[in-house]
Structure 1
Amino acid sequence: MQNWRWLFLSLMIWGAAAFGQSKISPSLERELDRAATEGGTVKALVLMSDRVDIRALDAQLYEQKVTLQERAYTVITTLQAKAAETQGPVNAFLESRLGTSVMEFQSFWIANMFAVDATPGAIYELSDRLDIRYLTLDSELQLEEVVDSAPASPTSPNGTEPGLLAINAQMMWQAGYTGDGVIVMGVDTGVDANHPALSWKWRGTHVPTNQAWFDPDGGSTFPNDCDSHGSHTVGTMTGLDPATSDTIGVAPGAEWIAAKTICSSSHTSRSIAAFQWAVDPDGNPGTADDMPVGIGNSWWDPDIVSSTQCDPSVNPYIDVVTAVEAAGIAIVFSAGNSGPGSTSITQPKNVNFDLVDFWATGAVDGNSAGFPIASFSSRGPVVSSCSTGNTSLDIKPEASAPGVNVRSAVLSGGYGTKSGTSMACPHVVGALALLRQAHPTRTGRELKLALYQTARDLGTPGEDNDYGMGLIDVWAAHLSLADPLDPERVTNLEAYSDYTTPTSIGLSWEDPTHYAGGDTLLPGSFTVEISRDGSAVASVAGGVQTYTDNGLTDGQTYLYNVVVKDVNDSLSSEVEVSWTAGGAVTPSAPMGL
């Protein structure tokens, strides 16, 4: 009888251990074996069993047609509530072992999970808990290293990089869209915030620095770059030297924020922390004007197991990326530089659950006729374990952008050319900024979808595993989102007042000449509607192009919003500018140019 009892007890212990081990990823298991032999601790990600169905929530928000602010608030507070409701017991377990078998830990709400640095024993204890569904390695992420790099001319006065013209960014600029009022972001090696093409566009010049710069390891409060890779990519998003009008960025009117996570300690948890920060930089879920329209990512994870890569219950990237997108932000990845072989898109963006969610960007030569695909650009399709049988979902990359000999910012205020899909990715983020300014109510996903659906087909006819849908065309994407019957907006809006006109402000602008769909807009068929501080003050006939606002208070600053209205009451998008009656010591720069 005693032997039977001992056998039963042994089976129970063996079963519990087997159950725990089935919840541990192969990559983490290898590190646990190493640590058990050599000593030390292991960094792991601990995924909770109870999680928000973020895809269902996202679909519900689209169905309800909520605003971007309502969307952000709902997603953030729902995720935070789930974490607060379920993480207490695990948090208490980790706290009780802190300093002994647990060296450090961090909780997350962007996905219901923890990052821990603990002994194998503590990690096995965690795996036995019913409120934990899976544990995986907190991997060291790798930078998508550039293929080649060289110094470039220090300035190109009044110059525009060929890659910007290749995606038709100049068409958006001519229509008055430069990304003004929009934020872009990179998760990379940092940014040289003293660079002349970047310093004046850092959002931290006018908001608290912790809302514009995230350095989870170094703890720095002013942007810096450990490699120049991050400066180069952010430069392609929004770079412009105001002293020379040397334009290297797709959206030179946009502001940038950044996270420095791909340097000395580039663990997955650092980038997850950056995504969580990006969703709510000011710590107030009720605001959305602090969030970027898109986040560029040029890194990859070497430790993902392909057989489980498409299972959201074990792959932490799925819930994290889906949550950020549900909040209204577009995630954009580089495809990788492992081409030209098939199925060479790097992890974690070699999967798809939607046409554009894990967007991977291929690289073309924007300096050559026909925009040939770069030989190094990673090719699709998706990893075989994630194949759905749906052709569009299985094809990778999503689309391509210029990524060969791209000139942008490097360290110490210099410029350099680099090649790689890392250079293509920020072209997409910059394009999103232009589109967000033109279509301010659209989510990041909707803007990505417009770029995807309007890309210029290159290579094999139709969508293919080299170019994806083709070369992005931001102007075509804009036209696809605009109502063709809406008038274009005014351009070159300016406001002015000085000591000779202390109680008035003069406005001037250039009238539009076309509708969004391309039809001619005649001066007699529209008016220019002007509001001051939210109240209508004038309706100016087309062709006049000036207005003087009188009866103002000397020294007071006023905000003007201007829209074009045609005879059918169709409206353009708004342009705004502010100025101080009687002039100001430091006048506000006009916006919307």
Structure 2
Amino acid sequence: MKRFLPFLFVVFFMTINLKSYTQNKISSLLLSRIEKSQKSNQNFPVLIVLSEQLDYKTLNSKFKAKSSNSENRAKTTIRELQKIAKTTQSPVLSFLKKNQKEHPSKIKNITSFWIANIISAEISPDIIYDLQLLDAIKKIDLNERKFIAPKPIKTKADNPNSKDILSGIEAINAPALWKLGYTGRNRIALSFDTGVNFKHPALNKRFLGNHLPMKQCLHSFYNFEYPQDIASSTHGTHTTGTILGLDETTNDTIGIAYNAYWIETDPIVSSEADIRPFTDYMETFEWVLNPDGDTATVSDIPDVVNNSWGISRDHELYECDPIEAQILDAVDAAGIGNIFSAGNEGTNPKTIGMPADISHSLVNVFSVGAISGANPTFPIADFSSCGPTTCYTGDDASLLIKPEVVAPGVNVRSSIGNDDYGTLSGTSMASPHVSGAFLLLKEAFPQLPGNEILLALYNSAVDLGEPGEDNTYGKGIIDVYAAFELLSQTHTPKPPVSNKYDIAVKSIANPAVYYTTSDTINPKVVIINKGTTTIKSCTFYYNINNLEEHTFQWTGSIATNEEKNVTLPSINTEDAYNTLNVKLSLDIDTTESDIYNNYFKTSFTKLPEKKTPLFESFNYHTSQQLKGTWAVSNPDFGITWVPDSLLLNDTIINCVKMNYFNYKTRDGQEDILLSPIIDITDMSEINFKFSYSYIRKISHLYKDSLKIYASTNQGETFDYLLFCDGGEHMASYDMDLTHTEFIPTLPEYWKDTLIDISNLTGNASVILKFVSINDNGNNLYIDNVKVYEGEEPTLIKEIQKFETVIYPNPAKTQFILEHNLTNYDNAFVEIYNTIGKLLLKKQIHSNKEIINVSNLENGIYFVRFRGNNCNTTKKIYINK
């Protein structure tokens, strides 16, 4: 795997030598950073590792003795992990919060984790010294665990566009299981990578977020509404394609388990400048074990996690007893297959990196080397990392050997970009072959935990190289059919699901647009019979924002491959961002071949009505909040209008932003921002004013544009063009900024535009439509939208020059909000859910308020503090 230098914190020199402490629980790396520090007020991001951790050896022995299935393993593992964290973290948290209250600047951002019994915080050295004296603590380490995706090895294929370059699929004997009827149906793969391009035709229809809530299918560190791949190589798109890619239009099969579904998380980066702290990985793995936020359910948990990331052995953070091991043991204990690429450091001994070299059992971290699948002798790739691991000191020689197996990783053809195909090489391309094979076996043996399926792949692999298991090929190349036969000797495979019954929601035809002005809608649903049996009746279950559920029974006749449009009875919309959820169920007791395509959802904004004068300063902190008032159209599921905050003359202002700078494909993509319904009844003179900021990337090139239209018929048509400008003429300031994103931090970067729209008088209302047209220039910002009659009213910008703290976070039934305002007569705290719905509003009466949240479900919420021209929003987790 690619080596990289970690970002070095500048820290102050401490005269106290921590080595004199008898406890000596502080890692040498953290101690070194403290002693080298030159700042007297430096806080350090630390991981506080508690002494008591879950005993996985004992737990797995109990699972084995009881022959526990995946469901029982997952529930038990999560319950035990959370129990340990809850019962042992209290003294440490009490110590931290007591000191935080006495010295607020010395302790910040306290966060508890349960995936491993760890607390993270930013702490000053003197507090760190005292903290290590607590008996409950085993170790205090620097929160600088950083992982990166290895850059794929770009090799030249004989014919990179040929659909025949799929020898890897044949090399692992996947077609033999296809012939038996196993294609990964109803199984779930998690891409733990750089993201996945959702709209790729080989992947789009297999994204589980098309059917289920997005929060349990996408865990994005970039707040993407839809999956996107941040890597220039589209690394995650390529690996996911190998697992399950299929373009149903062309029948181009690039994936192994082509009827499986995928979900994704995107903490992995390909640029060293973007690598993330280790706490992001802990947060992600907690999501992996509980994607829907409900620990009582396990159907949301992925069957397999495909990992193509790590650090090399000579990295300064490399160690043999890493925190990562605890986390990956948790994933294994929960019944999930945990598959890692071995790394691209070459074929010398001991080149396998971390965490692929962890060896607590034969398969708990299942590392995969790369061979050439097109060569019948399956030679090892010259970049494939080799063992042995240096992190095992026991007597089992097999636990020294790494990798576990090999799979095709040279010239692997898969999905790249948004709609293309290409070949890449690397162990990152090998591990998805194993993940795909795992899903085929999981369909046949759904009750088996991941480690038993991995053991079957391990023990049935075809030996390569030197006779027996070795540190180049491991056990050899996987043979998924041989693994199936091996498992069949002790377990009865579940027959492939019959295609007799499969009714699906293909799409929602109404609402067909991203907004509505109506208080009710009549959903129109397109259904298709993908089974072989004619369907006579079915029942629809549907709701808006998971509120009151409506039902409708449809009767008729729908033959195989036939589509029907079904109009459902009306349902009320909310003045907010609405998600229409539809579930379709057959009226007979049977198992359908696809259990997910009965679900479908679509989202839209119910435009609220606003009186004039209208002031809009875009005081929204999430896209969901913005879309509760303004509608956003994002046809390509990529970059679009989003709320933003920036510093202008030492004042934080809010605005909306179009990130042209990172809109890489110059294809004239249009994104729309639609205003609320603005009441202009009885107005004789109407002024429309807005502020914008935009500068050129390069003169005469990259000509982004902005058009603004108006509708006077409730958004049916937009017949009035109010503004049209683009390119260098649209620039609000005379400057080129070619290599850096533009952020308008000075008043002179902004330009006010006043438009007389009195020609619209005589109408009851107007809706404004801002249309951005991409040419990959630099960023555009919009603010201070006003519609008024006569003289311009004064718009007071909200200023954020204050501090707020909320704790504990996560909270259970209450949390404390502290702020430093001296005048809080008109201050309020508001709590919103993730779709921007206001759930609680309370007036503030002191600088320290206890907020009761006992009536809120577990999950993520936004706490908004506002008052006296001050405003801030923070995220809080409720976990009872």
TM-score class, shorter: 0.7 to 0.9
Cα distance between partner residues in 1 of 2:328 and 2:299: 20
In the superposition, relative to structure 1, how do residues 287 and 485 fare at CA in structure 2: closer, same or farther (>3 Å)?
A: closer
Cα distance between partner residues in 2 of 1:485 and 1:377: 34
What is the CA deviation profile of residues 280-320 of structure 1, one whole-angstrom value per residue up to 9, with x for unaligned ones?
11122222211111111111135899999444xxx212211
Tell me which of 113, 123, 127 is aligned to 2:128: 123
How far does residue 456 in structure 1 lie from its aligned partner after superposition?
Answer: 0.7
SS in 1 for 2:183: coil
8 A contact 1:55–1:322 mirrored in 2: no
8 A contact 1:300–1:348 mirrored in 2: yes
Tell me which of 284, 290, 294 is aligned to 1:274: 284
Higher mean C-alpha deviation, range 103-112 or range 161-170: 103-112
Cα distance between partner residues in 2 of 1:391 and 1:415: 41
Cα distance between partner residues in 1 of 2:444 and 2:327: 28
1:226 counterpart = 2:236: no
What is the CA deviation profile of residues 158-189 of structure 1, one whole-angstrom value per residue up to 9, with x for unaligned ones?
x6721111101111111111111100112111
1:585 counterpart = 2:592: no
How far does residue 102 in structure 1 lie from its aligned partner after superposition?
Answer: 2.9
1:345 counterpart = 2:352: yes
SS in 2 for 1:148: coil
Cα distance between partner residues in 2 of 1:240 and 1:395: 35
In the superposition, relative to structure 1, how do residues 305 and 64 fare at CA in structure 2: closer, same or farther (>3 Å)?
A: farther
Partner of 1:372: 379
Cα distance between partner residues in 1 of 2:369 and 2:557: 52
Aligned residues: 507
In the superposition, relative to structure 1, how do residues 556 and 209 fare at CA in structure 2: closer, same or farther (>3 Å)?
A: closer
In the superposition, relative to structure 1, how do residues 15 and 299 fare at CA in structure 2: closer, same or farther (>3 Å)?
A: closer
In the superposition, relative to structure 1, how do residues 35 and 241 fare at CA in structure 2: closer, same or farther (>3 Å)?
A: farther
How far does residue 386 in structure 1 lie from its aligned partner after superposition?
Answer: 2.2
Tell me which of 169, 181, 187 is aligned to 1:182: 187
SS in 2 for 1:257: strand
8 A contact 1:233–1:408 mirrored in 2: yes
Cα distance between partner residues in 1 of 2:318 and 2:311: 14
Higher mean C-alpha deviation, range 250-259 or range 51-60: 51-60
In the superposition, relative to structure 1, how do residues 16 and 335 fare at CA in structure 2: closer, same or farther (>3 Å)?
A: closer
How far does residue 585 in structure 1 lie from its aligned partner after superposition?
Answer: 2.4
Partner of 1:545: none
8 A contact 1:556–1:581 mirrored in 2: no
8 A contact 2:173–2:480 mirrored in 1: yes
Partner of 2:100: 97
Tell me which of 532, 537, 542 is aligned to 1:554: 537
SS in 2 for 1:582: strand
SS in 2 for 1:435: helix
Partner of 1:66: 68
Cα distance between partner residues in 1 of 2:334 and 2:490: 28
Cα distance between partner residues in 2 of 1:418 and 1:117: 40
In the superposition, relative to structure 1, how do residues 106 and 507 fare at CA in structure 2: closer, same or farther (>3 Å)?
A: closer
What is the CA deviation profile of residues 492-534 of structure 1, one whole-angstrom value per residue up to 9, with x for unaligned ones?
733489xxxxxxx9986xxxxxxxxxxxxxxxxxxxxxxxxxx
Higher mean C-alpha deviation, range 114-123 or range 466-475: 114-123
1:387-536 matches, cutoff 5 A: 387-483=393-489, 489=495, 493-495=499-501
Letter in 2 for 1:469: K
8 A contact 2:325–2:358 mirrored in 1: no
Partner of 2:669: none
What is the CA deviation profile of residues 445-501 of structure 1, one whole-angstrom value per residue up to 9, with x for unaligned ones?
11100000000111111101100000011111011111489698468733489xxxx
In the superposition, relative to structure 1, how do residues 213 and 152 fare at CA in structure 2: closer, same or farther (>3 Å)?
A: farther
8 A contact 1:16–1:128 mirrored in 2: no
What is the CA deviation profile of residues 346-389 of structure 1, one whole-angstrom value per residue up to 9, with x for unaligned ones?
01222312111122110001111211111110111111x52324
1:49-448 matches, cutoff 5 A: 49-95=51-97, 96-97=99-100, 100-138=105-143, 139-148=145-154, 161-215=166-220, 217-227=221-231, 228-263=234-269, 264-301=274-311, 309-311=319-321, 315-383=322-390, 385-448=391-454
Cα distance between partner residues in 2 of 1:211 and 1:149: 36
In the superposition, relative to structure 1, how do residues 47 and 399 fare at CA in structure 2: closer, same or farther (>3 Å)?
A: same
Cα distance between partner residues in 1 of 2:443 and 2:297: 17
Cα distance between partner residues in 2 of 1:580 and 1:233: 43
Letter in 2 for 1:360: S
What is the CA deviation profile of residues 413-452 of structure 1, one whole-angstrom value per residue up to 9, with x for unaligned ones?
2222111111111111111111100101110111100000
Letter in 2 for 1:46: I
In the superposition, relative to structure 1, how do residues 103 and 474 fare at CA in structure 2: closer, same or farther (>3 Å)?
A: same
Cα distance between partner residues in 1 of 2:77 and 2:469: 33
SS in 1 for 2:58: helix
In the superposition, relative to structure 1, how do residues 296 and 124 fare at CA in structure 2: closer, same or farther (>3 Å)?
A: farther
Greater share of strand: 2
How far does residue 201 in structure 1 lie from its aligned partner after superposition?
Answer: 0.9
Partner of 2:507: none
8 A contact 1:72–1:286 mirrored in 2: no
Partner of 1:528: none
Partner of 2:764: none
In the superposition, relative to structure 1, how do residues 29 and 463 fare at CA in structure 2: closer, same or farther (>3 Å)?
A: same
Cα distance between partner residues in 1 of 2:435 and 2:229: 19
Give the share of equivalent positions with the same residue, in percent: 36
8 A contact 1:555–1:582 mirrored in 2: no
Question: If you compute each CA radius of gyration, which structure gives the higher value, 1 or 2?
Answer: 2
How far does residue 337 in structure 1 lie from its aligned partner after superposition?
Answer: 0.7
8 A contact 2:313–2:351 mirrored in 1: no
8 A contact 1:69–1:288 mirrored in 2: yes
**What 5-or-longer segments of structure 2 have no aligned partner?**
1-15, 504-528, 541-553, 566-583, 586-591, 596-880
8 A contact 2:216–2:292 mirrored in 1: yes
SS in 1 for 2:447: coil
Cα distance between partner residues in 1 of 2:61 and 2:453: 16
How far does residue 329 in structure 1 lie from its aligned partner after superposition?
Answer: 0.5
Question: Which structure would you say has the larger RCO, counting Cα contacts within 8 Å and 6 or more residues apart?
Answer: 1
Partner of 2:29: 27
Cα distance between partner residues in 1 of 2:210 and 2:442: 22
SS in 1 for 2:368: strand
Cα distance between partner residues in 1 of 2:491 and 2:446: 18
SS in 1 for 2:418: helix
How far does residue 91 in structure 1 lie from its aligned partner after superposition?
Answer: 2.6
8 A contact 1:456–1:469 mirrored in 2: yes
Cα distance between partner residues in 1 of 2:324 and 2:193: 17
How far does residue 124 in structure 1 lie from its aligned partner after superposition?
Answer: 3.1
Cα distance between partner residues in 2 of 1:33 and 1:152: 56
Higher mean C-alpha deviation, range 101-110 or range 320-329: 101-110
